[in-house]
Amino acid sequence: MRHLSSRTIPRRVVGSLAAALLCAAGLAAPAVASSDTQDTDTARSPAADGVRARGSEGPRLPDGLALTPPMGFNNWNATHCRADFDESMVKGIADIFVEKGLKEAGYEYVNLDDCWALPQRDADGKLVPDPKRFPGGIKAVADYVHSKGLKLGIYTSAGTKTCNSAGFPGALGHERSDAQQFADWGVDYLKYDNCNNQGVDAKKRYIAMRDALKAASETTGRPIVYSICEWGENKPWEWAADVGHLWRTTGDISDNWGSMLAIMKKNLPLARHAGPGRWNDPDMLEVGNGGMTATEYRTHFSMWSIMAAPLLIGSDLRKVSPETFDILGNREVIAVDQDPLGKQGHVVSSEGGRWVVAKEMKDGSRAVALFNETGSPKTITTTAKAVGLPAADGYSLRDLWKHESYNVAGTISATVPAHGTVLVRVAADGQWQDKPPAVDLGAADPLVEAGKSEKLLTKVANRGSTDARDVRVSLTGPSGWRLKATSPTRASALRTGEVLGTSWQVTAPRDAKPGTYALDLKASHRAPGGGRVQLRQPVTARVVVAPPAGDTALSGLPWLSTTNGWGPVEKDTSNGESAAGDGKPLTIGGKVYAKGLGVHAESTVEYYAGGACEKLTAQVGVDDEKPDKGTVAFQVWADGKLAAATGVLTTADPAEAVSADVRGAEVIRLVVTDGGDGIDSDHADWAEPVLGC
């Protein structure tokens, strides 16, 4: 049996309307002051195998392999066990690596995952490649891949069978012979999984294969990169530095924002365990598989790179868009991942979903990721000092997605779109004078009713060491929208730290349907050399409908956005954890409620109130369907103000009445936290929520 609980990760479902979040009190991320605080450090106690754990100059395998994080491809995320995982796919990927310049960009390994073998070994105990998928055998595939100047990887499990339910043979008890077979085929990389491990100690199992690979590769002279895949269950970062070259730190990734985010958050605190030849592996890339937006995939790729993660492409490159190649082929971002100093970036700050992660680079510069976890644009700020740079009059800043260079005075700041990442490289290189100043352009996403006007504030902030001259800002929108500046849109010069703030009246057409509309915010200033520096920032206006006067059941109104710990937020049923509509009747303390919202911590649900409402009431509690566990706390926020809160409630508690004064609030936010003990079993009900307007 597969051990499911260890292989699944919490999934935060982000409502499709998340872009319109008017985030006042960001609850998306726990506040983290610095990295490296969450895992237990056993560095001072010798590990069972006599190996001591690790600072960033700690031990590693003596073979000199994987001195930078491995790069390549693995079919799993694209195909799982499907029939299109076959010889022609593997060869096709190798061809594309060469043709599209990915090989030159550093992608090297073409790796086969589970399902390449037949379920039975042959009479000699040898593994047999599936003849349907690999009619020429594995050696032929290896030869082909090698002929392109690339390397081949393979997969098996440190158990009696692999993870797939079809039950392909695992290597437990067959380490020597299987490793020899891989080496004989010309394999350069082994991913060694954890399923069906029969409870045998992980260190023992993974060390047995390390030794078998070493012996086998000595007979062929071909070194083999060793990828430990036990999902972080035994904290391999504490003992595996000289067992494997990389180790998974989490369960499997899937192609959605919540999965990627949860994995990132588990991997970030492990920074100090990574180094040349010994990498934290937050699992393979999903870029190009279709489940996230381009902005989210750029975040995924930026954050994997700043975490010095292995970059194993997980999409079928024969079918992906040019945009996917642009992301995966971004050499300036790859250079962050592949920096020879081999540091994993660490968390400099994290508050309200605004993350700053910095990575020391060999040339003394710092890669800095400004990552916005929330559903609305956020200005994220840090300083040269906070990311570890020496004091200087100015710094060079390179934007690794825009491919532009600027100067900054010491503040590193950008307005980052919802779920986006601005990735920069900042250097105290004395070369800043000839570059234009870094100017940040930003605005919130406005909510507006059809035919009505809302105020919007745009800001142009000079973060450079030099003046920004002749600054101009403009805002345009789709036809029928009126966008009128009510304060100046020009400044003759902005000195370091100065801001041109402009107020706008945004009027939606009378017949505008509810939904999102793209506004175009632009600014420009004169570059030192004479030309103009152009800036652009997308702004999403959302047309909303005011709630009706009188008392209305909240579950009958459209929400603005949701986030949820497991599955989607449900209307009038409890939360069933996966698909929409899989809940049961809302029940708290034996009482069944016909109306309400069934959520799972951590959860937020936002509604537009348009300043026209007075009171929100509800009966709240943990749903009875989780009799043993489940501890949560409920909050109601009126814009940025906490309007009502419960203490921690458990399944033992009856429903608690909540009443929140929401007078004047534009947006009402219902929040459920985990009660401080993780989100397990946290099924929370907002029963009979009524909005009085």
Q: In sequence order, what are the residues at sequence separation of 6 or more whose Cβ sits closer than 8 angstroms to the Cβ of residue 333?
A: 301, 302, 305, 400, 401, 423
Whole-number Å distance between alpha carbons of 658 and 618: 5
Q: In sequence order, what are the residues at sequence separation of 6 or more whose Cβ sits closer than 8 angstroms to the Cβ of residue 413?
A: 370, 379, 380, 381, 382, 440, 461, 463
Q: Determine phi and psi for 395, rounding to 5 degrees.
A: -135, 150
**Cβ at position 659, least distance to ligand GLA in Å:** 47
Query: Which of the stretches 61-69, 99-107, 155-163, 345-353 binds ligand GLA when contact is defined by CB under 6 A?
Result: 155-163
Size of the residue set binding ligand GLA (CB under 6 A): 11
**Cβ at position 74, least distance to ligand GLA in Å:** 8
Cis ω on the peptide bond leading into residue 99 (within 30° of 0)?
A: no
* Binding track over 1-40 against ligand GLA, x by CB under 6 A: ------x---------------------------------
Neighbours of 190 (CB within 10 A): 27
Mapping DSSP to helix (H, G, I), strand (E, B) and coil, where does residue 208 land?
A: helix
* Binding track over 193-212 against ligand GLA, x by CB under 6 A: x-------------------
Whole-number Å distance between alpha carbons of 218 and 516: 61
Nearer to ligand GLA, 76 or 593 (CB): 76
**Cβ at position 188, least distance to ligand GLA in Å:** 18
Contact assessment for residue 343 and residue 335, using Cβ atoms and an 8 Å cutoff: no
Nearer to ligand GLA, 9 or 27 (CB): 9
Nearer to ligand GLA, 76 or 517 (CB): 76
Catalytic member of 143, 252, 582, 677: 252
Q: In sequence order, what are the residues at sequence separation of 6 or more whose Cβ sits closer than 8 angstroms to the Cβ of residue 633?
A: 645, 646, 647, 648, 649, 672, 673, 675
Nearer to ligand GLA, 71 or 588 (CB): 71
Whole-number Å distance between alpha carbons of 160 and 657: 54
Mapping DSSP to helix (H, G, I), strand (E, B) and coil, where does residue 416 land?
A: strand
Contact between 688 and ligand GLA by CB under 6 A: the answer reads no
Q: In sequence order, what are the residues at sequence separation of 6 or more whose Cβ sits closer than 8 angstroms to the Cβ of residue 676?
A: 631, 648
Contact between 309 and ligand GLA by CB under 6 A: the answer reads no
Footprint of ligand GLA on 248-277 (CB under 6 A): 252
Contact between 606 and ligand GLA by CB under 6 A: the answer reads no
Contact between 540 and ligand GLA by CB under 6 A: the answer reads no
Nearer to ligand GLA, 164 or 293 (CB): 164
Footprint of ligand GLA on 111-130 (CB under 6 A): 113-114
Nearer to ligand GLA, 196 or 619 (CB): 196
Query: Which of the stretches 159-167, 365-373, 395-403, 422-430 binds ligand GLA when contact is defined by CB under 6 A?
Result: 159-167
Contact between 189 and ligand GLA by CB under 6 A: the answer reads no
Nearer to ligand GLA, 230 or 467 (CB): 230
Query: Which of the stretches 10-18, 162-170, 286-294, 350-358 binds ligand GLA when contact is defined by CB under 6 A?
Result: 162-170
**Cβ at position 190, least distance to ligand GLA in Å:** 12
Contact between 163 and ligand GLA by CB under 6 A: the answer reads yes
Contact between 164 and ligand GLA by CB under 6 A: the answer reads yes
Q: In sequence order, what are the residues at sequence separation of 6 or more whose Cβ sits closer than 8 angstroms to the Cβ of residue 164?
A: 81, 114, 115
Contact between 233 and ligand GLA by CB under 6 A: the answer reads no
Contact between 76 and ligand GLA by CB under 6 A: the answer reads yes
Tokens (6 digits) for 608:
């537009």
The candidate with the shortest Cα–Cα distance to 607, out of 682, 693, 683, 540, is 693
The candidate with the shortest Cα–Cα distance to 400, out of 363, 418, 378, 427, is 427
Q: How do beta strands 395-399 and 404-408 pair?
A: antiparallel
Neighbours of 439 (CB within 10 A): 20
> Is 252 in the active site?
yes
Catalytic member of 39, 188, 193, 281: 193
Nearer to ligand GLA, 162 or 604 (CB): 162
**Cβ at position 2, least distance to ligand GLA in Å:** 8
Whole-number Å distance between alpha carbons of 413 and 406: 12
Interface contacts to ligand GLA, rule CB under 6 A: 7, 76, 113-114, 155, 162-164, 193, 229, 252
- Residues serving a catalytic function are 193, 252
